Amino acid sequence: MTSPATSSSQSNQRTWPFLIDLAVFGAILAFLCALAAIGRYWFGAAVPAAEISRSPRALPLYAFYSLVRMATAYLLSLVFAVSYGYIANYSTRWRAVMLAILDILQSIPVLSFLPGVMLAMVALFPTRQMGVEFGSIILIFTGQVWNMAFSFYASLQAIPRELREASRVYRFSRLQTFFQLELPYGAIGLVWNSMVSVAGGWFFLMACEMFVLGNRDFRLPGLGSFLQSAASAGDTTAILWGLGAMIAVIVLIDQCIWRPAIAWSDKFKFEQVESKASGGSFILNLLRRSPLLNRLRHSVVTPLSERAYNRTTSQPDQAAPTQQPLLRVVAGYAFGLLVLAGILWGIFETFRTLRTITSHELVVTVESAGATFLRVAVSLIIASAWAIPAGVAIGFHPKLARIAQPLAQIAASVPATALFPVILLGLISMGGGLGIGSILLMLLGTQWYILFNVIAGAIAIPSDLREVADLFHFSATQRWLTVILPGIYPYLITGLVTASGGAWNASIVAEYFHFKGSVLSTFGLGAQISSATDSGNFALLLLSTMVMATFVVTVNRLLWRPLYRLGETRFRLEN
């Protein structure tokens, strides 16, 4: 005879998976409804200068629009970063050129992409809202993607030699090697850099949803435009409502996306001894217990992946072709000629645009670049001083990570530009100005690149190395010099490179700020770019962008690139 307790337990075992499947089905249905709603909005008539309400009632709809833009830009960033890092890792002929292009692109501020991107998108979709929406999404993309591409490339370069050799011994195909070795090895860095990329997207959301281009005013309904409207009007109540809505969205993303992603990526940690403790996720545990998702994985995903691996597995008797087909050679030369023609056309248009630049403007631009360079250097030094030890502490202690990681994600995602009016008022009351305030705003926008990369590096350090340090009673100095710094080194350099580029990018909002109907600015290259964008002075905007790119690429070539090579040769985790 079955006892009541046993009957109740069996009933719970049947009910609980059903509720999980119901929740999964509801989430899928909500996603499809959101797609339909955003499709109707994007394919509607173009409204490039929407009226932005400062009423709290508008915040749910604004949050939905901003979240869609952020998610779309992130997916584009993820695909681009993985593809670009993969090609750069394997293409020995084009690697140097691709890394140089990445250096240049990450040094170009969001506002410098703005004229070409917005005018091109509006021209492509002149009667549809999607033109302005795609322009805003691509601008957010330019603020997210570069550190993810650097991270994945650095992860591929750091894969231990014995793992590469094992994949060749078992005759893994390119596809199987990518999904079973390369993508898992880069997962930890990608997850943490994704978090800081999305945080960077929130930072520039205000500039991407509401901006002026010459005599044209672009305004899109969203949290960024809401906060910028409130900040420009000095409406503190609306600022607090907007920040509250943004923090709520960020917490929701952290619990539903980042916390499960961190717990999932922990299984890809490269070590020979299992970690004593690891982070968990309630959402991830529920998804793993869903019968619907398990059936889909076992019945659809696994058979399809195995079939694809079997079809692409390397065969030992297949000889590699000794000659390239003629058509491929011709196509390669044709592509090269097209690229050369595009470069020549770009050079011609650049010189034609810069004809109006005077020698005085050139001198002022170089001097302003020097002023911004000093602010960037100071912000990097301050950020490194606290982010490195804090990141190591969070990465080494899962209990601390469960508390500090969501707090850091929220702090990183809240746009400093929304808090800047309050900060600026405080600085002015203490006798300071935008010169100091710009350094603070750069710091608030870029310190997270270092922190999140150091956390990822600390998590990736194998537990057996840390246990050896405990076994031999290493002092704190020995532990840092022999275990911690070598272990986090590739991640730290990636964080410093992207933080440097992010600081230059942040200068466009740190040195030039709209406040209560007036403009506050300080001498610097970011202020010059923002001013040129507002006035529609494309010649000065192009010159300022070229000078900024030159500064960033020069620093990368003289400092960061040699440090990258040191990490690739000396601090590789292998036997």
Q: How confident is the model at residue 415 (pLDDT cuts 50, 70, 90)?
A: low
- pLDDT(534) > 80: no
CA triplet 321, 327, 329: central angle to 5 degrees? 70
Maximum Cα interatomic distance, the chain, rounded to a whole number of Å: 97
DSSP label of 290: -
Which amino acid is present at 298? H
| Mean of pLDDT values over 149-160 | 86
Which amino acid is present at 42? W
Please tell me the distance from the alpha carbon of residue 333 to that of residue 481, in angstroms, as a whole number: 50
Poorest-pLDDT segment among 33-47, 99-113, 169-183, 480-494: 99-113
Of 48 and 144, more confident: 144
At residue 548, the pLDDT reads 87
Q: Is the dihedral of CA 252, 255, 256, 262 positive or negative?
A: positive
Summarize pLDDT for 270-298 with one digit per residue, the tens: 665 555 555 567 777 777 777 777 787 77
Please tell me the distance from the alpha carbon of residue 70 to that of residue 252, in angstroms, as a whole number: 14
Q: How confident is the model at residue 9 (pLDDT cuts 50, 70, 90)?
A: very low
Q: Per the domain annotation, does 448 fall within a domain?
A: yes
Q: What is the CATH number of the domain that holds 526?
A: 1.10.3720.10
At residue 431, the pLDDT reads 59
At residue 72, the pLDDT reads 92
DSSP secondary structure of 71-124 = HHHHHHHHHHHHHHHHHHHH-TTTHHHHHHHHHHHHHS-HHHHHHHHHHHHHHH
Q: How confident is the model at residue 377 (pLDDT cuts 50, 70, 90)?
A: very high
Q: How confident is the model at residue 320 (pLDDT cuts 50, 70, 90)?
A: very low
Range of 57's domain?
43-279+353-569
Query: Left (φ > 0), alpha (ψ -120 to 50) or beta: where does 325 sit?
Result: beta
Of 333 and 562, more confident: 562
Q: How confident is the model at residue 126 (pLDDT cuts 50, 70, 90)?
A: confident
CA atoms within 13 A on the CB side of 397: 10
Containing 521, the helix (H) or strand (E) segment is strand 518-521
Other CB atoms closer than 10 Å to residue 528's CB: what's the count? Answer: 29
Q: How confident is the model at residue 533 (pLDDT cuts 50, 70, 90)?
A: confident
| Mean of pLDDT values over 426-451 | 76
Please tell me the distance from the alpha carbon of residue 523 to that of residue 16, in angstroms, as a whole number: 62
Of 86 and 123, more confident: 86
At residue 209, the pLDDT reads 82
Please tell me the distance from the alpha carbon of residue 454 to that of residue 388, in angstroms, as a whole number: 6
Q: Per the domain annotation, does 139 fall within a domain?
A: yes
Please tell me the distance from the alpha carbon of residue 534 to that of residue 512, in angstroms, as a whole number: 11
Q: How confident is the model at residue 64 (pLDDT cuts 50, 70, 90)?
A: very high
Q: How confident is the model at residue 74 (pLDDT cuts 50, 70, 90)?
A: very high
Q: What percent of the chain has pLDDT over 90?
A: 11
Of 571 and 562, more confident: 562
For the ranges 53-67, 299-313, 553-567, the maximum mean pLDDT occurs at 53-67
Residue 212: strand pairing partners: 217
Q: Per the domain annotation, does 291 fall within a domain?
A: no
CA distances to 61, 214, 245, 552 from 498, in Å: 32, 30, 28, 11
Of the candidates 236, 241, 154, the one whose C-alpha atom is nearest the C-alpha of residue 189 is 154
- pLDDT(5) > 80: no
* CB-CB contact of 103 with 553 (8 Å): yes
- pLDDT(14) > 70: no
Q: Per the domain annotation, does 2 fall within a domain?
A: no
Please tell me the distance from the alpha carbon of residue 371 to that of residue 363, in angstroms, as a whole number: 13
The dihedrals phi and psi of 216, each to the nearest 5 degrees, come to -110, 135
Of the candidates 382, 557, 450, the one whose C-alpha atom is nearest the C-alpha of residue 147 is 450
Q: Is the dihedral of CA 34, 35, 37, 42 positive or negative?
A: positive
Please tell me the distance from the alpha carbon of residue 190 to that of residue 500, in angstroms, as a whole number: 19
Summarize pLDDT for 323-343 with one digit per residue, the tens: 556 676 677 678 778 877 877
Q: Per the domain annotation, does 405 fall within a domain?
A: yes
| Mean of pLDDT values over 396-411 | 77
Mean pLDDT of the chain: 79
Please tell me the distance from the alpha carbon of residue 27 to that of residue 38, in angstroms, as a whole number: 16
Of the candidates 156, 137, 30, 29, the one whose C-alpha atom is nearest the C-alpha of residue 92 is 156
Count the domains in the chain. 1
Alpha-carbon radius of gyration of the chain:
25
DSSP label of 49: B
- pLDDT(234) > 50: yes
